[in-house]
Amino acid sequence: MKRLFLSLAIIHALFVSATGQQPSATPNPPRQQNPSSDKDEVVRITSNLVQIDASVTDKKGKPIADLHPEDFEIFEDGKPQKITNFSYVSRGEQTTTPPVTVKPDRLGKKAVAPPPPTVVLRPENVQRTVALVVDDLGLSFESMHFVRAALRKFVDEQMQEGDLVAIIRTGAGVGALQQFTADKRLLHAAIERVKWNSNGRAGIAAFAPIEDDPLVAASMRPGADGPVATKQTSTNMEKGARQSQSDFKDDVFSVGTLGAINYIVRGLRPMPGRKAVVLLSDTMNLFDSHGEGNYRTIQALRRLTDLANRASVVIYTIDPRGLPALNFTATDNTSSIMKLDNGAVVRANSGAAMMQSMMNKTEELWKSQEGLRYLALETGGFFFTNNNDLNLGMKKALDDSRSYYLIGYRPDDSTFDKSGQRRYHNITVKVKQPDLIVRTRTGFFGISNEEATPVRRTSEEYLMAAITSPFSSGDVDLRLTSIFLDEPPLGSFMRSFIYVGGHSLTFKEEADGSYRAALDVLAMTFNDQGLAVDRRSRSQEILVPRAQYQSALENGLIFGINLPVKTPGAFQLRIAVRDSGSGRVGSANQYIEVPDLKKDRLTLSGLYLAERDPARSLVKVSTGTGETASAGDSQGDPQTGPVIRRFHTGAMLEYGYEIYNARVDKSTRLQQLQSQVRLFRDNQLVFTGKVLALKGQLDQKRMVAFGQFPLSPSLTPGDYVLQVIVTDSLAKEKNSITTQWIDFEIR
Cα–Cα dist 182/204, whole Å: 33
**Tens-place pLDDT, residues 285-310:** 766 555 555 666 677 777 888 888 88
Cα–Cα dist 382/377, whole Å: 6
Mean pLDDT of the chain: 75
Residues 6 or more apart whose CB falls under 8 angstroms from that of 139 comprise 147, 196, 197, 200, 202, 280, 281, 282, 320
Q: At what angle do helices 351-378 and 295-310 cross, to 10 degrees?
A: 30
CB 548 within 8 A of CB 19: yes
Q: Can you spell out the DSSP letters for 663-720?
A: ---TTT----EEEEEEEEETTEEEEEPPPEEEPP-TT-SEEEEEEEEE--TTSPSEEE
pLDDT band at 89 (very low <50, low <70, confident <90, very high): confident
Cα–Cα dist 297/316, whole Å: 18
- Closest listed residue to residue 57, CA positions, set 383, 335, 381, 496: 381
Residue 522 predicted with pLDDT over 80: yes
Residue 512 predicted with pLDDT over 70: yes
Query: What's the farthest any 2 CA atoms get from each other in the chain?
Result: 100
> Rounded to the nearest 5°, which phi and psi values hold at 681?
-140, 125
> Rounded to the nearest 5°, which phi and psi values hold at 486?
-140, 115
Residues 6 or more apart whose CB falls under 8 angstroms from that of 446 comprise 415, 416, 417, 422, 423, 424, 425
Quick one: what percent of the chain has pLDDT higher than 70?
Answer: 72
3-class DSSP state for residue 250?
A: helix
**Distance (Å) of CA 698 to CA 6, 656, 694:** 19, 20, 13
Determine which of 263-277, 424-438, 536-550 has the lowest per-residue pLDDT on average: 263-277
3-class DSSP state for residue 335?
A: coil
pLDDT band at 16 (very low <50, low <70, confident <90, very high): very low
Q: What is the pLDDT of residue 333?
A: 67
- Closest listed residue to residue 521, CA positions, set 554, 561, 550, 469: 561
CB 2 within 8 A of CB 632: no
Q: What share of the chain is helix, strand, coil (3-state, %, to 5)?
A: 25, 30, 45
Q: What angle do CA 425, 43, 407 make, to 5 degrees?
A: 80
Pairing state between β 491-500 and 478-487:
antiparallel
pLDDT band at 152 (very low <50, low <70, confident <90, very high): very high
Q: What is the pLDDT of residue 180?
A: 74
Cα–Cα dist 53/601, whole Å: 52
Q: What is the 3-state secondary structure (H, E, C) of 338-403?
A: EECCCCCEEECCCHHHHHHHHHHHHHHHHHHHHHHHHHHHHECCCEECCCCCHHHHHHHHHHHCCE
Residues facing 303 on adjacent strands:
none
Residues facing 608 on adjacent strands:
656
Determine which of 22-31, 183-192, 203-212, 607-616 has the lowest per-residue pLDDT on average: 22-31
pLDDT band at 229 (very low <50, low <70, confident <90, very high): very low
Residue 391 predicted with pLDDT over 50: yes
Quick one: what percent of the chain has pLDDT higher than 90?
Answer: 19
Cα–Cα dist 339/697, whole Å: 76
- Closest listed residue to residue 167, CA positions, set 262, 95, 264, 81: 264
Q: Can you spell out the DSSP letters for 153-194?
A: HIIIII--TTEEEEEEETTS-GGG-PPPB--HHHHHHHHHT-
pTM above 0.75, yes or no: no
DSSP character for 597? G
Amino acid identity for residue 620 in this structure: K
Residues facing 542 on adjacent strands:
517
For residue 292, how many C-alpha atoms fall within 13 Å in the half-sphere facing its CB? Answer: 7
Residue 211 predicted with pLDDT over 60: no
CB 299 within 8 A of CB 501: no
Residue 249 predicted with pLDDT over 90: no
Q: What is the pLDDT of residue 39?
A: 42
Residue 581 predicted with pLDDT over 60: yes
Residue 408 predicted with pLDDT over 60: yes
DSSP character for 114? P
Q: What is the pLDDT of residue 290?
A: 54
Q: How far is CA 674 from the centre of its chain?
A: 35
- Residue-wise burial string across 590-606, b where 16 or more C-beta atoms lie within 10 A, e elsewhere: bbbebbebeeebbbbbb
pLDDT band at 388 (very low <50, low <70, confident <90, very high): very high
Residues facing 559 on adjacent strands:
498
Q: What is the pLDDT of residue 78?
A: 93
Residue 7 predicted with pLDDT over 50: no
Most trustworthy range by pLDDT among 169-173, 233-237, 651-655: 651-655
Determine which of 332-336, 456-460, 701-705 has the lowest per-residue pLDDT on average: 332-336
**Distance (Å) of CA 428 to CA 66, 67, 436, 488, 522:** 21, 17, 15, 66, 45
- Closest listed residue to residue 306, CA positions, set 451, 441, 455: 441
- What mean pLDDT comes out for the span 490-515? 88
> Rounded to the nearest 5°, which phi and psi values hold at 477?
-65, 105
Query: CB count, 10 Å around CB of 412?
Result: 12
CB 561 within 8 A of CB 483: no
Determine which of 33-42, 505-514, 688-697 has the lowest per-residue pLDDT on average: 33-42
CB 678 within 8 A of CB 514: no
Helix (H), strand (E) counts: the chain: 11, 36
Residue 270 predicted with pLDDT over 50: yes
CB 265 within 8 A of CB 257: no
